[in-house]
Structure 1
């Protein structure tokens, strides 16, 4: 059994720091695209990249279970030192990811039509967003398989490999996007082409690292088909709950983007930039959530409740500290931050009127991130689903039943309430089962 360590923070940071570095790099895929768009066009171009990237994200968010489910189940196998199950989880998850990715490519036309119909951007934004999505969707198999591999690495208590993959992916994205857009003069379509090249490079490198880790951990050869089929009940039960949870997330984000698009290109552009700032914060928080997945899962697999509780307490201490830092930076230095992403004075000035919403978002969403990591490690996915369903209901209730004079203020009020309610419900679930 794993025993409680006097240096719990050391165990957390060993996983969290590389994960944070990796996750901070991840938003560069969106930030680089938006920054290039901001310098080759106007608010319409920024909005097109935002809508196209949102379509891309919404498509893959539905398959977040590939990473989260793999992480929790692998961490518990690691804690129990079940080497064969560690191997089974790797091959089962990657095989499913590749099959789903191929299906997405085959169904790209109806997916694109449905998402654009739901978002309903202006005609100018619609055309460019459709082009953007039509290119990056060919990276679906690579993206989903990389998600599975990342979850497996985290479950195996290794966040260094995902960091290396993120560094390579973003380096390829930056170099290729700049080359395609400016050197080869491809214009707007060079942006998604750079992202597509980066996606496939990330998958190839992740597969190499997985093979290397299998040898290091002496996990043996690939499992037989019957081994991969055995235990599918629990695998799909966990993934079903996370999938339904992802649908709730998709509904909220799709409505957020669509409502902003209907409010005009300027509102769409500013909300897109604000959401990128929130995603930057979320990737910092996800570093500690990943640490929660790995360590809580390991302690759960080893039946070490004392270490599990200490880990949760320390994770929340780190979470509040990060939330305070980001809230201060986004509120006080909003003009400077926004100027980094757009050289258009009208965009920066428009953003100033809504700066306090993005400043409050880190505080509202902190608990949800930490609890998500804890519950993934416990594979208590039903509670995660219930929290998202409840928070989503609150989100739409506030927006439709309590309208404000400024529709964008109402949109952000509902979004912050949605974030806070997620954390509260998960805390109540944890406390009810005497886990904290």
Structure 2
């Protein structure tokens, strides 16, 4: 239990700064004269969630593979994992720069927002895309640092990055009146600050772990194939997850700017919960990977049980807080009366989601640590295929309530499908 707290608490604290940043973005836009500003940042942020978390495999695969190498005492192999992740991050950023115009056109086609929202969202997108190299490199750095169990280093990087972002947000928007441009520029500057801090933390951890950089191992063909296979699985899995939330936002946008803005605010609650509970998922991921590398099955079982119990207690706490302080939290984001009233009508779903989604978060972390990426991919695809027609059917009768109900069922399906396969997967990992 103590080892889980030692890993989870700094991750929870660092993760919480991420949705807090999104909350500040939403709050400064929510107090502008029109709901269109909030809707534009919501859509722009969704596009980048889709892009960057599509590359989230850089963090996930790096942590699992590097931690298993460290558990086996192979420092050179752990460095080779970092080298391969770095190359993928830089190439990926260059590709995003080259196709940025097509990306926004595709997003605008899928998300049918008003003309005003679309123009503002495009402005936000065209500025923030320049943070791509820093954003992708930060995933790789975080993955390797987590594999070292240096969660304090991750905390330092995340806190500094997001504090810089928040301060610049307030200065550019509230002080200088830059609107969505200010939010975007603040994010770009903060991402590059985070990259600098991450490199310093990486250097410290490299000095603590023996091993050499070996070019031959970085470009080892079978390892590259393994990484590409894992990354493709995780890419598909992540795109499916993001597609579920993109679908949710797109369907909400069809119900009008007020519903779009209200849903954007309420999703901030879910984001906050997700990032906090991910602290336990990250902890069990790292511990599971080290247990697999060292072939310690009893240790694995103990860590899975303890981390899941703690995660559920936290989830219940979030649900209670959202029920007790819903009006205060919503008022933080906006003073537009019709958006306030609309958001209040759907707070029940926000309070229910932590109790449903905590199980899928934990199972994700365990499977990442076991590097069982194919099952993660397959179960996510199954859940998404069920979710999309379900949401359309439920919206016809229950409108936005139906949309929220379908999202809740989707999160539950993720846990059920992974839970069914867990006994066999965990047994096979230690054979």
TM-score, normalised by the number of residues in structure 2: 0.96
Runs of at least 5 residues in structure 2 that lack an aligned partner in the other structure:
none
For 1:223, the equivalent position in structure 2 comes to 214
Tell me, yes or no, if the aligned pair for 1:29 and 1:195 is still in contact at 8 Å.
no
**Match of 1:26, SS?**
helix
Name the structure 2 match of 1:142.
134
Aligned residue number for residue 197 of structure 2 = 205
Q: Corresponding residue for 2:175?
A: 183
Contact in 2 for aligned 1:52/1:129 (Cα 8 Å): yes
Cα-to-partner distance string for 1:77-131 (whole Å, 9 max, x where unaligned): 1111111111111111112111101211121110111111111211110010010
**1:263-412 map, 5 Å:** 263-412=255-404
Higher alpha-carbon deviation: 46-55 or 31-40:
31-40
Equivalent residue for 2:74, pick from 70, 73, 82 = 82
1:161 aligns with 2:149: no
Rounded to whole Å, the distance in 1 between the matches of 2:290 and 2:27 is: 40
Q: Is the 8 A contact 2:84 2:218 kept in 1?
A: no
Contact 1:91 1:223 in 2 (8 A): no
Shift of 1:60: 1.1
In 1, distance between residues paired with 2:173 and 2:326?
A: 29
Partner of 1:65: 57
- Cα 1:337–1:60, aligned 2, differ >3 Å: closer, same or farther? same
Tell me how large the CA RMSD over aligned residues is: 1.5
Q: Is the 8 A contact 2:31 2:333 kept in 1?
A: no
Residues 129-185 of structure 1: per-residue CA shift (max 9 Å, x gap): 010111111001100000111111111111111111111111211222222224333
Deviations 1:323-379 (A, max 9, x none): 111111222321111112112232221111111111111111110000000000000
Shift of 1:39: 2.1
Counterpart CA distance in 2 for 1:87 and 1:406 is 52
Q: Is the 8 A contact 2:16 2:275 kept in 1?
A: yes
* Aligned residue-pair number: 427
Task: Give the corresponding residue for 1:5.
Answer: none
- Residue 3 of structure 1 is matched in structure 2 by none
Report the alpha carbon displacement of residue 434 of structure 1 after superposing the two structures with TM. 5.8
- Structure 1 unmatched runs, 5+: 1-8
- Aligned equivalent of 1:24, options 11, 16, 19: 16
Give the alignment of 1:101-180 within 5 angstroms: 101-180=93-172
State the 1:226 CA deviation.
5.2
Query: Relative to structure 2, which stretch is displaced further, 177-186 or 204-213?
Result: 177-186
Q: What TM-score, normalized by structure 1, do the two folds share?
A: 0.95
Contact 1:177–1:191 (Cα < 8 Å) also in 2? yes
The answer to whether the 8 A contact 1:334-1:352 is kept is yes
C-alpha contact 2:79 2:211 (8 A) present in aligned 1: yes
Q: Determine the C-alpha separation between the residues in 2 that align with 1:34 and 1:188.
A: 11
Alpha-carbon separation, structure 2, partners of 1:315 and 1:286: 11
Which deviates the most, 275-284 or 178-187? 178-187
Tell me by how many angstroms 1:305 deviates: 0.4
Task: Tell me if structure 1 keeps the 8 A contact 2:28–2:174.
Answer: no
Q: Secondary structure at the match of 2:122?
A: helix
1 CA distance for matches of 2:327 and 2:397?
Answer: 25
Matched, 1:238 2:230: yes
Instruction: Specify whether residues 133 and 296 from structure 1 end up closer, same or farther in structure 2 by C-alpha distance, changes over 3 A only.
Output: same
